[in-house]
């Protein structure tokens, strides 16, 4: 049995009994029913994930997966490709957006090289699982082989499993890869059968040809490679990215070990869709963070049946939105642990 098959086999749905207990406790708290909105549904979800009425999420880990994309050479972005390399090195130094946000919640940031173009020093503080130096240009052929696509997912499973073994009880997904909104939009276009124009946005900076050129490149890649929408590994291999596959693996591992996983924006949601296609029960473990500015983000979220909790006009990536959502999970846990019930409140009042 492969690592991927083992992870999928170990995924069970959320604990419905604990979720019902959580709902009853929340309804009994000293507040109007439903008055804490999404905080209540998050608390119920966390109870179902962990099997604990009063879960504790005190060991947060953001896993940032980094890789390059051969389609960059088509001019789909205005950013130099070597930004992936030097920004990946910045994660271990704590100088990136996600690091700054993760710092306020004491979240650990782990960076993984899945396919960065170029060599990263062995002492850079980066976990090395490089499969290849970036994907092949999907506008000229498959981005990677089927074997490499599976390897990318298994990288995510390995890294997440190792962090869970060290005590992580909530994970977040993040990515770094110049040009990676292009394969993300391509994957979504294949999965929905829609015109790529509908799901394609500016990314971190669209190339000189604008959205029209970016869309044309995606259409060409789909036409050349003919990815099978009924085979998500085939889609990932032909028009996907190594870091996208790795994030899907993180989500699968989180579900297999009954840990909540907070996903970031557009690219993380595409990874979540891949994980969902491999095993639908992973949806129970996914907590969406923010609504990305990318046009495909809402379509991807709707397809998965999730609703982001934050609307911050963010589109940085890196896992920045996921890190920003961690305190909301803390608040949900605190509500369950520290709020008194109406009955307790009345008893306290009677004793005065």
DSSP annotation of 179 reads: T
Q: Quick check: 4 and 153 in contact, CB under 8 A?
A: yes
The span from the CA of 155 to the CA of 163, in Å, is 13
The span from the CA of 351 to the CA of 64, in Å, is 53
Q: Which of 40, 243, 279, 318 is catalytic?
A: 318
Give the 3-state secondary structure of residue 193. coil
Residue 320: phi, psi to the nearest 5?
A: -60, -40
The span from the CA of 153 to the CA of 274, in Å, is 10
- How far is CA 171 from each of CA 36, 83, 238, 332, rounded to the nearest angstrom? 24, 25, 28, 16
Structure tokens at 221: 């890649």
Structure tokens at 119: 């060599």
Burial of 122 (0-12, 13-18, 19+ CB in 10 A): exposed
Residue 206: phi, psi to the nearest 5?
A: -75, 155
DSSP annotation of 284 reads: G
Q: Quick check: 279 and 171 in contact, CB under 8 A?
A: no
Q: Is 294 marked active-site?
A: no
Q: Quick check: 323 and 98 in contact, CB under 8 A?
A: yes
Q: Quick check: 170 and 285 in contact, CB under 8 A?
A: no
By annotation, the residues acting in catalysis are 318
């Amino acid at each position: 049995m492969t690592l991927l098959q083992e992870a999928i086999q170990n995924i069970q749905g959320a604990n419905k009994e604990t979720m019902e207990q959580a709902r009853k406790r929340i309804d009994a708290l000293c507040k109007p029913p439903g008055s804490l909105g999404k905080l209540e549904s998050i608390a119920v979800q966390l109870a179902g994930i962990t099997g604990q009425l009063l879960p504790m999420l005190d060991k947060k880990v953001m896993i940032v997966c980094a890789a390059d994309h051969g389609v960059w050479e088509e001019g789909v972005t205005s950013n130099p490709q070597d930004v992936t390399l030097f920004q990946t090195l910045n994660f271990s130094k704590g100088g990136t957006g996600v690091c700054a946000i993760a710092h306020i919640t004491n979240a650990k940031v782990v960076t993984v090289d899945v396919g960065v173009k170029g060599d990263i020093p062995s002492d850079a503080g980066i976990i090395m699982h490089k499969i290849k130096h970036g994907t092949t240009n999907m506008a000229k052929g498959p981005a990677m082989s089927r074997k490499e696509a599976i390897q990318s997912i298994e990288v995510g499973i390995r890294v997440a499993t190792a962090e869970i073994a060290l005590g992580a009880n909530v994970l977040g997904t993040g990515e770094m890869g110049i040009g990676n909104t292009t394969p993300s939009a391509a994957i979504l276009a294949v999965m929905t059968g829609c015109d790529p124009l509908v799901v394609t946005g500016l990314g971190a900076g669209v190339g000189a040809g604008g959205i029209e050129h970016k869309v044309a490149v995606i259409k060409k890649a789909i036409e050349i490679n003919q990815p099978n929408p009924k085979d998500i590994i085939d889609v990932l291999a032909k028009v996907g990215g190594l870091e996208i596959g790795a994030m899907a693996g993180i989500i699968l591992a989180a579900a297999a070990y009954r840990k909540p996983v907070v996903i970031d924006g557009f690219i993380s949601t595409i990874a979540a869709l891949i994980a969902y296609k491999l095993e639908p029960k992973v949806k129970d473990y996914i907590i969406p963070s923010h609504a990305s500015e990318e046009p495909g983000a809402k379509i991807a979220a709707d397809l998965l049946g999730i609703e982001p909790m934050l609307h911050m006009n963010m589109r940085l990536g890196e896992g920045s939105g996921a890190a920003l959502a961690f305190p909301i999970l803390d608040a949900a846990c605190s509500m369950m642990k520290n709020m008194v019930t109406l009955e307790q409140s009345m008893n306290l009042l009677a004793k005065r």
